[in-house]
Amino acid sequence: MRFNAKDLALLARQPSGCFDKEGKLKICRVVGDEKLIEPRERWCRLKGNLLFLMKNKNRSLYRVEESIVFPSACPSPAPDKIASKKSSEASEVVILERCWVVEFRSKTDVSIVLKFQSGEPDLYVEAASKPDCESWAVALGEANSEGLQNKIQQLRRLIMEIKEERSSDEARQFLPSSQIDSLGEPQFTSIQRIANEPKLEFSLACKDLVAATRDRKLNTFIQVSVVHPAEHILTRYSSTEIVEGTRDPLFLTGVTFPPEYPIYEETKIKLTVYDVKDKSQDTVRTSVLPDHKEPRADVGRSFLGCTTFRVGDLVKSKEQQLTLTLRTSDGGKTVGTIEVNLVKMGELEDGETDHITTDGQDQKCALVRECTTAEGISGKDSLPSLNAVLKNPICKLYRFPTSDNKWMRIREQMAETTLSFHVPKELINLHIKEDMRRNQELKDLGELAPHWDNMRKSVIAHCDQMLSMYQDTLAELGKHTGSSFKSSCSKGEKTLEFIPINLHLQRMHVHSPRLKDALYDVITVGAPAAHFQGFKNGGLRKLLSKFEAERRNTGYQCIYYSPENTAKAKEVLSNINHLQPLISSLADLLLNSASQHSPDSLKNSLKMLSEKTELFVHAFKDQLVRSALLALYTARPGCVLKKPAGPRNSAEEGGDLQHQDHPSQIKRQDSIPHHSEYDEEEWDRVWANVGKSLNCVIAMVDRLLEKDSVSNIKEGENDPAAADCNVLHTGGDWYEQLYPLVITLKDCMGEVVTRAKQSMAFVLLQELACGLPQCLMLTLRRDIVFSQALAGLVCGFVIKLHTGLRDQGFLQQLHSVGLLVQYEGLLSTYSEEAGMLEDMAVGISDLQKVMFKVIEAKSEDFLPIITGRREHYIIEVQLPAKMFELLPQEIKEGKLLRMYPVLFNVGINEQQTLAERFGDTTLQENINQENLELLKEYYKLFTEKMPPDCLPHFQEQNDLKGLLENLHQNIQAKKRKNVEIMWLAATICRKLNGVRFTCCKSAKDRTSMSVTLEQCSILRDEHQLHKDFFIRALDCMRRCQQVIKQGFSVKILELRRIFFKYSEGISSAGSDLSSFPLLATQLLKL
């Protein structure tokens, strides 16, 4: 190679703007690990693939060395060809050819090494800082001649892709201007599809691939990219799995585009085939990446060939199949063919799988429409209500061979839910209203003795602080924009502590050629727990037990009421707040019917008033109200308490009875007396007056209706009830005769409400005062955990209701028995996760107090409506009119639907190993035993109320009673990491039409391994998955898109270890889990 020293010296003296990069570096030569001399600081200038090393470290001009040194990789010119001049500034020139850059990845190392293929001593380069080192590494790597060649190849491929587009653009130049104006914006042809179904799905296979060497066995995968017609930008979309050891790979992973994806007939799809040299080092991207850059040419993979096709060509092809030629980057050499098979919904399966590893030409991919809607309802009808709950679906398509050499098709879908934020916001709003009412009730207690008054002030002050916290949290959630789920990295944020972690729907739709289509749903969510508050002192289960024990020892400060009595007090207050305005409105409705002189309306109004008033009276038939009234009296200033059991004066008693016999003359009593003897029987008289007043109203209505009737009434007949009321009206207006009786009823009811509210508020005051501030903090923690659990439950119920609308047996089970909700926990009982498990157990147990109600939607807003109070919530699920009409009459009439949540937990990670060897697993054993009893109760109720033919026919391979007995034995066995418990509980849940949940700390690693293993096991047990393809199917579902994405690192070795432990008894074969499932990879938005 000949060089012109004058030109090189001239180039070295050019201004700074002429160079690609320049800066100060320490340079020396290295042989092996030994430096020949100490690094010297020099000013370096990079131009193209020439690196000039200046004689000194400064920019000032220097005299030129007499010679220019070249690495032996590039033969030096003859001495007589290099001019020896004293004006040159360069000490050495390094030509970057047949070399590569080695960068040290430690955080502190700021050096790189240039290695030469010829064996020339390495060039050691040290920068001043880590960013400077990284920028020099990139610049030197790109300046290498091989890097420039790669850039040229990439540009050639892009030119090939847009050649066809140029022809259409050039044609427009020859159109008249008027015709161009009429064209306007480009119009693209949409793909016809079924509502709520993917727009496009296809499978891939290659044939006759050419390897670099004859004896090499290819390990190939296909990268799928999309060229959008409007932007002409190449976007990586997905990829297949890696198929090893064949030149005719048939890929089990297909390509699917969700309904919202902007794909048209004019859209182009690029298929690039890579050969993976070292699978363990390769990371395959499968997610939608808004990045048109080509992947780096890592040593782990090599480019084989690529091809491009229009979506319209595939959709309109006669055989719904394209056979394309794979070519090298320059478009010259043919390296094989690739077959694209369109997957159309409803197409039957014809292909055989005798040669599935080498031959896929005649196999058509087929799926039928998902059975997610009832007969008579189109997907378009159910789409709005589902879209109100689910969003951002991500789909995967697979084809797996069955044991009879047929193809089954599997569509795996994961979707976020808007309920992650909707339900917590609704709950917090209800908490705020409930706490504001409680604070006002405490203020309305009236005058109290100094001790109790100071206690009340302290309680109200603390409650106001908590109320302000709830209001601030609600305001912050109202400002939230962006993702509809909370990622795991945000689980410790205070403003998001009410939001569940990674709440998603994981759905698997299976279409088998000879079996009924099936749909399997699993809700995945992080364990409901108060992560922000921490677990230093344990979780709710331990904290509540400790708090209750401490409360029993504080009787000298306040009155102790059991948790049952406290809950009863809250129930009484809730009934009061609900029934009082309802009875008042019904009484007004009765008067309105009387003024209109309408007998039928009067009867109906009286019936409703009687029913609600009887409920009102019954609510106070409890000893708690009497004892609380007495306790409240003792808390009044200057009270005098006589012996309550002393005999009363008979004259007074007779006078009272005589007074009660004339309810029309009942006068409103004062509140409980402050300075006189407390009469315990006074409360009985007060609330009994409500019933007597109602009897008077009923008697008067009966008399009015009798007089209005023209038959079957004997004149002169007297009504004893009316006589008892001392009301002998014989005529006049109905309204005038009913009005005083209705007013008396309202007055009596108001007296009862005043006394009952004060007494129950006093009970709540004791609960709060006995444990400030721990009581309020526990309430907050319980609200947080319950909010996360309820969001998942509502999501699961809505999805289950939509998928079961065509199943009359399920709908009958729903209103006759209730819905089984099974949670699979994978938390350990060691360290913080033990506290999470305690929180989770209490939160799931609290879901028993939730009832569901299905109503017809009156607007386009289909989000659920939440009403009620703590410990008693009603979730109203809205359905469109056409879907609502398919429900049984009982559900349409508003029957409340019960939930039966059960939790079974088995820790499977390394922390559980520590707990089993050095810690305690009693918590897990107790939770499993308690929930087994709940499951048995549900099964007993199910067998009593449901016929046996309601169970799914395709899952009748085991007897439910036998499965329950097996589950009981496994729980009693106390075996280490007994995953059989999880499989039995999941199987029982599916057979009982239940809703399945899978939870771990963040719903990522362990949850992903569990869900994908469960899916493949279902395919094997229920849909005849070929036994030799169990592991390969599992690998397909567990492929890794990115090992690290947005701060989350997948522990491959840990996942592999978890899989083998969790797969014990499921499969005897091993698996190279160098990848991760769809569930986890999509959750790597996290």
Q: How far apart are CA 410 and CA 413, in angstroms?
A: 10
Whether 528 contacts 500, CB under 8 Å: yes
Q: How far apart are CA 497 and CA 494, in angstroms?
A: 5
Q: How far apart are CA 394 and CA 287, in angstroms?
A: 9
Beta-bridge partners for 22:
45
Please name the amino acid found at residue 462: H
Task: Show Cβ contacts of residue 64 under 8 Å, excluding neighbours closer than 6 positions.
Answer: 9, 85, 86, 87, 88, 89, 90
Whether 942 contacts 813, CB under 8 Å: yes
Structure token pair of residue 226: 């999309």
Provide the edge-to-edge strand list for the sheet that holds 850-856. 390-401, 407-417, 504-511, 518-524, 995-999, 819-825, 897-905, 850-856, 872-879, 865-869
Q: Are strands 34-35 and 200-207 parallel, antiparallel or unpaired?
A: unpaired
Q: Does the annotation count 1000 as an active-site position? A: yes
Q: How far apart are CA 841 and CA 902, in angstroms?
A: 9
Structure token pair of residue 203: 């499978």
Q: How far apart are CA 101 and CA 559, in angstroms?
A: 78
Residue 966: other Cβ atoms inside 10 A: 18
Q: How far apart are CA 330 and CA 156, in angstroms?
A: 6
Q: How far apart are CA 939 and CA 2, in angstroms?
A: 90
Whether 844 contacts 782, CB under 8 Å: no
Q: What is the CA radius of gyration of the chain?
A: 39
User: Helices marked H in 596-636 — which ranges?
Assistant: 599-618, 623-634
Task: Show Cβ contacts of residue 625 under 8 Å, excluding neighbours closer than 6 positions.
Answer: 572, 683, 756, 759, 760
Instruction: Identify the active-site residue in 306, 395, 558, 1000.
Output: 1000
Distance set, CA 523 to CA 306, 487, 840, 866, 951 (Å) = 39, 16, 15, 21, 22
Beta-bridge partners for 898:
851
Exposure letters 933-954 (e unless 16+ CB within 10 A, then b)? ebbeebbeebeeebeeebbbee
Task: Please report how many Cα atoms fall inside a 13 Å half-sphere around the Cα of residue 192, on the Cβ side.
Answer: 3
Sign, CA dihedral 779-781-787-790, equals: negative
Task: Show Cβ contacts of residue 661 under 8 Å, excluding neighbours closer than 6 positions.
Answer: 724
Distance set, CA 203 to CA 235, 395, 400, 746 (Å) = 19, 14, 12, 73
Which residue is listed with tokens 């699979």? 824
- Collapsing DSSP to helix, strand or coil, 80 comes out as helix
Which residue is listed with tokens 């398509």? 397
Q: How far apart are CA 767 and CA 782, in angstroms?
A: 16
Peptide bond into 864 cis (omega under 30): no
Whether 220 contacts 209, CB under 8 Å: yes
Whether 90 contacts 8, CB under 8 Å: yes
Q: How far apart are CA 781 and CA 839, in angstroms?
A: 9
Q: Which residues are catalytic?
A: 1000
